Amino acid sequence: MPDPRLSALPTPCLLVDEAKMKRNIDRLSARATALGVSLRPHLKTTKSVDAARYVLTNGNGPATVSTLAEAEAFAKVGITDIIYAVGITASKLDRVIALHRSGCNLIVLLDNVEQAQAVASASRSSRIAIPALIEIDCDGHRSGLTFDDPALVDVGRILTQGGAALRGVLCHAGGSYGAVGVVAHAKCAEQERLAVVNAAEALRGAGLQCPVVSVGSTPTAHAAQDLTGVTEMRAGVYVFFDLVMAGIEVCCIDDIALSVLTTVIGHQSTRGWIICDAGWMAMSRDRGTAAQDVDQGYGIVCDSAGVPIPGLIMVQANQEHGVIARRPDFKGAVPAIPVGTQLRILPNHACATAAQHSGYHVIPEKPEATLMNWPRFGGW
């Protein structure tokens, strides 16, 4: 049955299924508790104060962000225990200092001598010991120092002796997004754990403090079996999940809480196309499933109740037009979908799709309740 609450919404627009979102949040929260670590949710996916309230264990954090704009927006509403999990630049340190003066305990991230010197200099000039984590590389995916790199201790000493505060080490198992299944993800999680624990031991062995040992990626957070030596784990996209996560078996299609509501605006019958009003400006250009065993195009097509329609995906996306068609290998019947029909598209990458929109229309857990509207923000 079509949901009458959706019929008045302008399309394309972003929908969140509150019940699925809460289920996803509870699942990872229970894992963190069972593993004996704190959960520091990454708020980069939702970029929403309303959504953040669902994942934070107390009002002020702990939280992770990927931009200073996020840190500033969340700090304004009292979320003050924050890690800025992108390598710091000297040009951003004035904003970091301003956040500290406003009462936000913002921790910065770095992995080289130049960054450490900049943070130490800013700490001395501001008379604020800026807390910093050293990023550790566990799989060659992105940034970070290896645990046996001599620069690790050098960076720690520059921070400590220069007036900043060495808070600990942080790792992101980005390589886990290329692994499939819980066994493979568990191996990535152990590799991640060993990298940060060894790095922490190297710093402590040099006489440096290392109270925080932070790991995090959505695949490893859901697969880790042992987090001995780790103090916290981070994850972000788990709140909504998406087709990339389903494709590597972190979640099921039914766990995906985010979708784009769209309206059928025409057909190209000779080509078997259904045209809708959600193009890449609504879905994003992300084609993360193209490298997976099952290519989901620009997203799986569902009816307005969120139930996938067998065999249909968005195969093309222009700026404001989406082209829906059957999968190349699908042999079953496809239902007629008239002009004016509302559909929902499940996205490849929740972060990228959400970033195309200014807010969420939230379908409440209680069927009789009215839709909620959550603003979201962007920028850097």
pLDDT tens readout for residues 109-127: 999 999 999 999 999 999 9
For the segment 5-28, the average pLDDT, to the nearest whole number, is: 97
Query: Full-prediction pTM beyond 0.75?
Result: yes
Q: Are residues 200 and 269 in the same domain?
A: no
pLDDT at 39 over 70: yes
Domain boundaries, position 128: 37-239
For residue 245, being part of any structural domain is answered with: no
The residues, ordered by sequence, that sit 6+ positions from 106 with a Cβ below 8 Å of its Cβ are: 71, 75, 82, 83, 84, 96, 99, 100, 131
Q: Are residues 212 and 73 in the same domain?
A: yes
pLDDT tier for residue 373 given thresholds of 50, 70 and 90:
very high
pLDDT at 2 over 80: no
- Taking only Cα atoms into account, the Rg of the chain, rounded to an integer number of angstroms, comes to 22
Q: Are residues 204 and 275 in the same domain?
A: no
Q: Are residues 59 and 198 in the same domain?
A: yes
Domain boundary among 175, 205, 239: 239
Q: Are residues 143 and 57 in the same domain?
A: yes
For residue 231, being part of any structural domain is answered with: yes
Q: Are residues 204 and 64 in the same domain?
A: yes
**Which of 133-142, 186-195, 198-207, 327-336 is predicted with the least confidence, judged by mean pLDDT?**
327-336
pLDDT at 1 over 70: no
Q: How far apart (Å, rounded) are the C-alpha atoms in residues 57 and 207? A: 33
For residue 210, being part of any structural domain is answered with: yes
For residue 20, being part of any structural domain is answered with: no
pLDDT of residue 49: 97
For residue 252, being part of any structural domain is answered with: no
Q: Are residues 52 and 184 in the same domain?
A: yes
Average confidence score pLDDT of the chain: 96
Q: Are residues 288 and 352 in the same domain?
A: yes
For residue 251, being part of any structural domain is answered with: no
For the segment 267-277, the average pLDDT, to the nearest whole number, is: 95
Structure tokens at 250: 């972190």
Domain boundary among 187, 206, 239: 239
pLDDT tens readout for residues 42-52: 999 999 999 99
Domain boundary among 177, 212, 239: 239
**Which residues are bridge partners to 362 per DSSP?**
16, 372
Q: Are residues 155 and 278 in the same domain?
A: no
For the segment 22-39, the average pLDDT, to the nearest whole number, is: 97
More confident residue, 134 or 1: 134
Q: Are residues 185 and 153 in the same domain?
A: yes
Q: Are residues 228 and 329 in the same domain?
A: no
For the segment 47-65, the average pLDDT, to the nearest whole number, is: 94
pLDDT of residue 193: 98
pLDDT of residue 42: 98
pLDDT at 57 over 80: no
Angle subtended at Cα 68 by Cα 62 and Cα 69, rounded to the nearest 5 degrees: 105
pLDDT of residue 367: 87
For the segment 325-349, the average pLDDT, to the nearest whole number, is: 93
For the segment 161-175, the average pLDDT, to the nearest whole number, is: 97
Q: Are residues 83 and 200 in the same domain?
A: yes
For the segment 83-97, the average pLDDT, to the nearest whole number, is: 98
- The share of the chain scoring above pLDDT 70, in percent, equals 100
Kindly report the CATH number assigned to the domain that includes residue 358.
2.40.37.20
Kindly report the CATH number assigned to the domain that includes residue 154.
3.20.20.10
The number of domains in the chain is 2
**Which of 108-117, 293-302, 312-321, 328-337 is predicted with the least confidence, judged by mean pLDDT?**
328-337
For residue 160, being part of any structural domain is answered with: yes
pLDDT at 3 over 90: no
How distant, in Å, are the alpha carbons of 10, 44, 60, 84, 197 from that of 155?
52, 27, 29, 18, 17
For residue 115, being part of any structural domain is answered with: yes
pLDDT of residue 142: 86
pLDDT tens readout for residues 225-269: 999 999 999 999 999 999 999 999 999 999 999 999 999 999 999
For the segment 1-24, the average pLDDT, to the nearest whole number, is: 93
pLDDT tier for residue 59 given thresholds of 50, 70 and 90:
confident
Q: How far apart (Å, rounded) are the C-alpha atoms in residues 364 and 19? A: 7
